[in-house]
Structure 1
Amino acid sequence: MNAPLPPADALRSALAGLLDGLPPKSAAQAVERLITTYRGTTPTHAPVLRDRSDVAAYAAYRMPATFAAVGAALEAFADAVPGWVPGAHVDVGGGTGAATWAVNATWEGARPVTVLDWAEPALALGREIAAANPELAGAVWRHSRIGAALTIESTDLVTVSYVLGELTEDDRASVVDAAASAARAVVVVEPGTPDGYARVLAARDRLIGAGFHVAAPCPHSASCPVVPGEDWCHFSARVARSSLHRQVKGGSLSYEDEKFSYVAATRFPPAPAPARVVRRPQIRKGQVLLDLCEPDESLRRATVTKRHGPLYRAARDADWGDAWPPPEGD
């Protein structure tokens, strides 16, 4: 019997033939509309994913990027809660289930999973795609209004990814409050734009106000030192481009970088990073410049040179979003 594919490979395989039979022009138009919606600032009172064409285009185009971004956020979160494994997971506004796949890739094994979304076509396709992953076979895909009326049963982990931008400010607050009331840990991921960061920052404040501790990316639960309007905190995940990516965007590169903002917070005390690399490291001759978010609520540029020995070698290998200094043994 063949061993099951890793989640990333299983997802890629499940998405491979998704657009068969859908005219390329229709797929491209759906993708362009979705890009405009997800990067815009206008909330909606209806699902963004309206029909099978929308959902197929979204899944083929966006699921790999969402999977990569949420996976990167969860990896940083998992590092801050060593030994903790969620026993149950609720994916709010989960659509076709990219965050559910990312949770499964971060913590192996099957667990009770509920995906809540207000778009029935997205839920149907998410259920179909999940059939490629035996550990998601028992997931429940449930229609739910995402907003003030949202109710979430008690669970270990709630993810809210790429959905707050679709909501009014009041509904965003209601969704975050519902997640905080239900979960031991909440992870919110939004596009890495100034508006996306602002939504994450507002969610962070509400979670802290509800008694949560920030586990990642911040090394503290105090005020964010980034000044809104002057800069924004975001990170990057590399994503292989599919044929649909190339069809819609053109370009010769086989990959693109998905920018995202996030916060992961827990009811229980985490072990956050000593500091976080918040910009792409700059490697110069004999030195590396690291822009760090520090535990004393400050931003600082650290210069690591050859005379720092092993730390210099670690700095040369450091990436945007990494903890600093790296854990011993890395």
Structure 2
Amino acid sequence: MPSPPTYAAALRDAIADVTHGIAPQQLAAATEALIGRYRSVAPAGPPILDSADRVAAYAAYRMPATHAALSRVLGTVAETGLAPTSLLDLGGGTGAAAWAAAETFTSLRTITVLDQVEEALRLGRRLVESAPVEALRTARFERAAEGSWPQGSADLVTVSYVLSELTADQQGRLVADAMALGQAVAIVEPGTPDGYQRILKARNGIRDAGWQLLGPCPHDLECPLSAGDWCHFAARVNRSAEHRRIKGGELSYEDEKFGWVAGARPGVVAGQAISGRVLRHPLKRKGFVEFQVCRPDGTAGREVISRKQGERYRRARDAEWGDELP
């Protein structure tokens, strides 16, 4: 029997179904408008996804990349022992984080996506109709906005690619709301210098509340990166033919750059110490591998693992950007 499709493939198929019949020119024009908005760091005025065309374009253009980034983030969070049964996605739009969470955590039983744009929620509901697992097929997509979240709580709250659309005050309130509603939170932003600054502020909020950091940092000290540098990671995204067409791309893949931070209330997970976080693509040379890493002692810098180190060297050859240092 053929193996079941991956979540990424299932999501691509669902997106193709809901965008079928929309003229490629319409999708391309809406995508261009979205790209222009996302490249701006100013807070949004009216909602970005303000029409059916833009919502469909967002699904085709952004959902695969957002899903890939969240899959990497939540996969790392799962390594700490977190096993949520409920997910709340604030500002989740069409539900990319929900797909990533359902893929990562087989423990999930309930998923709720909250957003202020009904058109995005409507498309999200359509996408999950043929999802691979029941928790995703029965996910609730409900209308709500920053400052008016419904009562309730969840084991895990996600906030992805939302902070850039808010003012500084709104960003702080949203992070505080996420922490008030969840036992654990995961926050993801674009892997840009300004996205890094927003992640740093969220990280400070998590630390100041006495929560345990779940990643990516191997410590809870000040960020050691020097001025002009920023912490970010990458996820490989396979492009569909339609995705290449609406973005005008030629390659069959792209790398989604993102920054993130996650934390949990004290005692939610036992957690585990790691030897360091790989901050850039490793340089793999004959006889050694060179890493740029963030260390548990709060420093960052160069680490070299040579062939003389045997098994550690063999594991270093397989290590990638964003992994734990072998």
Q: TM-score range by the shorter chain?
A: over 0.9
**2:294·2:301 contact (CA, 8 Å) conserved in 1?**
yes
Alignment of 1:267-306 (within 5 A): 267-268=265-266, 269-306=270-307
Shift of 1:16: 2.1
Mapped to 2, the partners of 1:299 and 1:79 lie a distance apart of 22
SS at match of 2:250: coil
What is residue 117 of structure 1 aligned with on the other side? 115
**Cα deviations by residue, 1:10-41 (Å, 9 ceiling, x for unpaired):** 21221123322212122112112212222321
Mapped to 1, the partners of 2:2 and 2:94 lie a distance apart of 26
Mapped to 2, the partners of 1:250 and 1:37 lie a distance apart of 18
SS at match of 1:21: coil
What percent identity do the matched residue pairs reach?
Answer: 46
Mapped to 2, the partners of 1:263 and 1:25 lie a distance apart of 37
Amino acid at match of 1:161: S
What is residue 217 of structure 2 aligned with on the other side? 218
Mapped to 2, the partners of 1:32 and 1:152 lie a distance apart of 37
Shift of 1:260: 0.4
Mapped to 2, the partners of 1:170 and 1:267 lie a distance apart of 23
TM-score where L is the length of structure 1: 0.92
Alignment of 1:199-218 (within 5 A): 199-218=198-217
Mapped to 1, the partners of 2:198 and 2:156 lie a distance apart of 20
Shift of 1:286: 1.3
Mapped to 1, the partners of 2:151 and 2:205 lie a distance apart of 17
Mapped to 2, the partners of 1:129 and 1:319 lie a distance apart of 32
Mapped to 1, the partners of 2:19 and 2:57 lie a distance apart of 7
Alignment of 1:149-228 (within 5 A): 149-151=148-150, 153-227=152-226
**2:232·2:260 contact (CA, 8 Å) conserved in 1?**
yes
TM-score where L is the length of structure 2: 0.93
Mapped to 2, the partners of 1:240 and 1:151 lie a distance apart of 36
**Cα deviations by residue, 1:56-92 (Å, 9 ceiling, x for unpaired):** 1111111110000011001111112x2x310111001
**1:114·1:142 contact (CA, 8 Å) conserved in 2?**
yes
Unaligned runs of 5+ in 2: none
Amino acid at match of 2:292: D
Shift of 1:109: 5.0
Shift of 1:306: 1.0
**2:87·2:155 contact (CA, 8 Å) conserved in 1?**
yes
**1:155·1:182 contact (CA, 8 Å) conserved in 2?**
yes
Of 231-240 and 303-312, more deviation after overlay is shown by 303-312
Of 309-318 and 63-72, more deviation after overlay is shown by 309-318
Mapped to 1, the partners of 2:31 and 2:304 lie a distance apart of 42
Report the RMSD for the aligned CA atoms in angstroms: 1.8
